[in-house]
Structure 1
Amino acid sequence: MTLPHGFEITLDRHTRVLEGGRVLVGGHPTRLLRLTPRARRLLTGSTLRVRDAASALLADRLLELGMANPVVERLAEPPDTRCTVVVPVRDRPRQLDRLLAGIDDGTPVIVVDDGSRDPAAVAAVVAAHRARLVTLPVNVGPAGARNAGWRLVTTPFVAFVDSDIVLGPDTVPTLLRHFTDPKVAMAVPRISGLPVRRAGWIARYEHARSALDLGAHPAAVRPGTPVSWASTACVVLRTDALEDGFDDAMRVGEDVDLCWRLLESGGRVRYEPAVSAEHEHRTRLGDWFLRKAVYGTGAQPLADRHPEFIAPAVFAPWSLAFVGLLLVQRRWALPVAGAVLGGVTLRIARKAAGTRHPHRLALGLAGRGAVGALAQTSALLTRHWWPLTAVGCLVSRRVRRAAALAAVADVALEYRRERVALDPVRYGVARRLDDLAYGAGVWLSALRGRSVAALRPRITR
């Protein structure tokens, strides 16, 4: 399967071009890619357009490494763009009516009533919009409801859209363009918050920091990267890529499981923030907190199915030693941590031999690795491992200092980057509640599964 002629990519914002275009540095994990003279001529600035077998091979390689992304507005449509929309719903007739009103009349729609308490209200909305209704006698959860609709789809593509989503007119057509890449099995838009008239502090936090919002930049979805999973609140898939569909046994995390199974089978999953779908976020404190905890309970079932992907943090041996030394908080530990960072810098410089400034490049890469390791450690202390942190704070001054620094630095950095319409104090409170809820869900799932797999960091070289 090769990329078609005319397919255009552009280098990712984190990919650096060095040595007059001879060297590219980027991707996840970070790689140094040396280009041949012929390959350099295929790049025009930061873009590459597929014109022949050689350009198709280079474009595919850059996409696979996470060094580049498709230029979606310049992609052609696939030959057959027929797509069926499948909507799982349980009650919510008002939201369902709002969603269906935004879907073109010519688009086939299947609504799966997943054991509604008031099925007549759902049926009336479906009839008003001339959609197809499938009624399930008992509630089977979102995975089973989506499967019930998917098995009736006869078009090449299927869009799963939750009932509390509002679709933009260009969302599905734009996502379909990604399927001109024959390896793409799934494409997802950015999930933004549905505007509300009176947004309270939780609503404003959720609009800026929703777990469903994967950011403003396009990316390949892959475990161990900044975009490691994708929600199926709104998603377009190749119908034949689903194979066994969603895992009916999963009430939470079924979207992550499907995403990772598609990747394991050799498919690609694209995140495209050029288009969005608006989601009706939970804005009441109790409902919001409970939902965050529910998200966390999906951790252990995912660990059972994908043990290589679920780690809450991924460290290289040197980065683990680096953060461990800093956590010791002894005078002698700081110079030793500096020596570890210096050693890895020299090792990277040896691998970058032949570039103009190998040590400068290596220092930047090692510094980024150190910052990433500290960020992951902060997340462990305040999110995934917070029960252990709380116990440690009772008996250790060093743990208290580390936890306080992690909590304050995290809020300060995120608040500045997100530019949320909320004061720092309430943002900080919401951030910590978010972490407490999710972490509690992870620990609950670990206790139920009698396993710490979802809590164990992964060490990789």
Structure 2
Amino acid sequence: MTLPHGFVVALDRRTRVLDGGRALLGGTPTRLLLLTPRARALMTGRTLSVRDRAGAVLADRLLASGLAHPLVTELPPNDAQGSVTYVIPVRDRADQLDRALAGIRATTADAPVIVVDDASREPAPVAAVAARHHARVVALPANLGPAGARNAGLREVTTPYVVFVDSDIVLAPDTVDVLLRHFADPAVVIAVPRITALPGPDAERWLGRYESVRSSLDLGGQPAAVRTGTPVSWVPSACMLARTDGLLKADGFDAAMRVGEDVDLCWRLTADGGRVRYEPAVYAAHEHRVELVDWFRRKAVYGTGAHPLARRHPDNIAPAILAPWSAALLVALLAQRRWSLPAAGGLAAVATVSNARKLQGIAHPLPQAARLTALGTLASLTQGTALLTRHWWPLTAVGCLASRRMRRATAVAAVADVALETLGRGPNPIRLDPVRYAVARRLDDLAYGSGVWLSALKGRSTAALRPRIVWPARPRSPLPRERAGRRTAARPRRTPTA
């Protein structure tokens, strides 16, 4: 299966074009891709439009490495718009269901819609709402949870594509049509929009404002290939468009999981070679929880998915993924001794030299290596901050009782966390004062971390709490350009910052 003619990809905003277009540096994990003259001729600035087999091979490689993403606005409309079935799992919540169905019918009047009633306590209102919007109801005799309810709906789907929509979601008019364009790539199994806050009075409350910029379901404004170990390692099933046969082949969602079933599905599909795309050019609005107790409880529930995921995917669930040098750098800084800063600087210097050796295929590798090391250091500090304030907060609290250094490190981590997030918003400022934002951020961490620890204690395992150290591959000689055959670029090389 190859990408069709007319398929357009654009380099990721973080991908750097080096040596006049001879090399590309970026992706996750970081790769150096050396392009032959033939491959360079296929590029137009930072975009590539597939016109022949060579272009399809190069575009596929760029997508697989995370160096580029489909330019969805330039892709032709998918001719399968009439081949979509909507599946909505619901338990009670008839008012939200009415709103969700109204949004769907405003976009498409005749698409099949299946409402899966997951053993509602009051099924009559749900059935009445579904009938008013000409939706079919599949009533379950026992409560199966979101995963089981979606599977029940999936088994009734006869169209090539299925859209899972939660009852507290309101679809934008063009969301499904735009997501369908991703399926021109035959490897794509799932495409998901950005989940934003549903406008309304609740969104203006302080937790509503926090959720509008820090929701667990909002994965940011940049497109991404969804893969483990990357900034977007999963996508929520609150709104998800998928190939019906691809999900059936994967046996759908894991019905034994009441939470984290979407993470598990993404990881299983990508492990089997499927592609999952996150597309923030379109969105679905979600009614966030804004009552403090309900909100806190839900964040903790998200955390309880950690141990079930660790049992199914032990290599993917680590709360932090660090290179040996960056792990040592964190330990040195946490020690807060006189030798800490010199040691951290020495480790960064060694990493820079190592990176420069990996970049010998380009001119002036040292500046690029220093940049990679700086980015790797920042990423490591961010992960270390999350360990202290989120994943390991019970240990941090105990440490703060006994150690002044731990108290100092925790205070710095908590303040730096909020400062970096605030400064990093750019043109999208946080609509909440720093104090209340900081309080909500720490409560978020406490809730999620509590859920992780509860699941670990229940499962009698620390797998979901242990960081993973990624050791670099054995050094290889500098990569040559590849000239022969139909292939268009040299093999990518991973750098030690991955």
- TM-score band, normalised by the shorter chain? over 0.9
Structure 1, residues 5-51: CA drift from partner, whole Å, max 9, x if none?
10000000000001000111100011111111111111100000001
Q: What displacement does 1:356 show?
A: 2.3
Aligned to 2:436: 426
- 1:406 corresponds, among 403, 413, 426, to 413
Is 1:113–1:122's contact at 8 Å kept on the other side of the alignment? yes
- 2:241 corresponds, among 222, 236, 240, to 236
The one-letter code matched in structure 2 to 1:253 is: G
Aligned to 2:346: 339
Q: Whole-Å Cα distance in 1 between the matches of residues 300 and 198 of structure 2?
A: 22
Is 1:77–1:180's contact at 8 Å kept on the other side of the alignment? no
- 2:319 corresponds, among 312, 315, 333, to 312
The one-letter code matched in structure 1 to 2:96 is: Q
Structure 1, residues 131-181: CA drift from partner, whole Å, max 9, x if none?
100001121100010011000000000000000000111011111110000
Aligned to 1:159: 163
Superposition pairs of residues 357-368 of structure 1, within 5 angstroms: 357-368=364-375
1:111 aligns with 2:115: yes
- 1:352 corresponds, among 352, 359, 362, to 359
Aligned to 1:69: 69
1:196 aligns with 2:200: yes
Residue 13 of structure 2 aligns to a residue whose secondary structure is coil
Is 1:253–1:302's contact at 8 Å kept on the other side of the alignment? yes
1:220 aligns with 2:230: no
Q: Which runs of 5+ in 1 are unaligned?
A: none
Q: Whole-Å Cα distance in 2 between the matches of residues 439 and 354 of structure 1?
A: 43
Residue 158 of structure 1 aligns to a residue whose secondary structure is strand
1:136 aligns with 2:143: no
The one-letter code matched in structure 1 to 2:395 is: L
Runs of 4+ in 1 over 6 A off after TM superposition: none
Is 2:34–2:361's contact at 8 Å kept on the other side of the alignment? no
Q: Whole-Å Cα distance in 2 between the matches of residues 178 and 76 of structure 1?
A: 10
Aligned to 2:464: 454
Q: Whole-Å Cα distance in 2 between the matches of residues 34 and 417 of structure 1?
A: 31
Q: What displacement does 1:354 show?
A: 4.1
Higher relative contact order (CA 8 A, sep 6+): 2
The one-letter code matched in structure 1 to 2:51 is: R
Aligned to 1:37: 37
Q: Whole-Å Cα distance in 1 between the matches of residues 339 and 437 of structure 2?
A: 37
Q: TM-score, normalised by structure 1?
A: 0.99
Q: Whole-Å Cα distance in 2 between the matches of residues 350 and 141 of structure 1?
A: 52
Aligned to 1:95: 96
Is 1:218–1:273's contact at 8 Å kept on the other side of the alignment? yes
Q: What displacement does 1:196 show?
A: 1.5
* Cα root mean square deviation, aligned: 0.9
Aligned to 1:3: 3
Residue 102 of structure 1 aligns to a residue whose secondary structure is helix
Aligned to 1:46: 46
Q: Whole-Å Cα distance in 1 between the matches of residues 12 and 321 of structure 2?
A: 22
The one-letter code matched in structure 2 to 1:332 is: W
Aligned-pair identity in percent equals 67
Q: Whole-Å Cα distance in 2 between the matches of residues 406 and 413 of structure 1?
A: 10
1:247 aligns with 2:254: yes
Q: What displacement does 1:79 show?
A: 4.6
Q: Whole-Å Cα distance in 1 between the matches of residues 379 and 360 of structure 2?
A: 24
Q: Number of paired residues?
A: 461
Aligned to 1:388: 395
Q: Whole-Å Cα distance in 2 between the matches of residues 194 and 79 of structure 1?
A: 30
Q: Which runs of 5+ in 2 are unaligned?
A: 472-498
Aligned to 1:442: 452
Q: Whole-Å Cα distance in 2 between the matches of residues 408 and 173 of structure 1?
A: 42
Residue 331 of structure 2 aligns to a residue whose secondary structure is helix
Q: Whole-Å Cα distance in 1 between the matches of residues 76 and 183 of structure 2?
A: 9
Instruction: Flag the 1:397–1:139 CA change in 2: closer, same or farther, 3 A.
Output: same
Is 2:26–2:32's contact at 8 Å kept on the other side of the alignment? yes
The one-letter code matched in structure 2 to 1:298 is: G
Of residues 355-364 and 299-308 in structure 1, the stretch that sits farther from structure 2 once superposed is 355-364
Is 2:21–2:40's contact at 8 Å kept on the other side of the alignment? yes
Q: Whole-Å Cα distance in 2 between the matches of residues 333 and 72 of structure 1?
A: 47
Residue 341 of structure 1 aligns to a residue whose secondary structure is helix
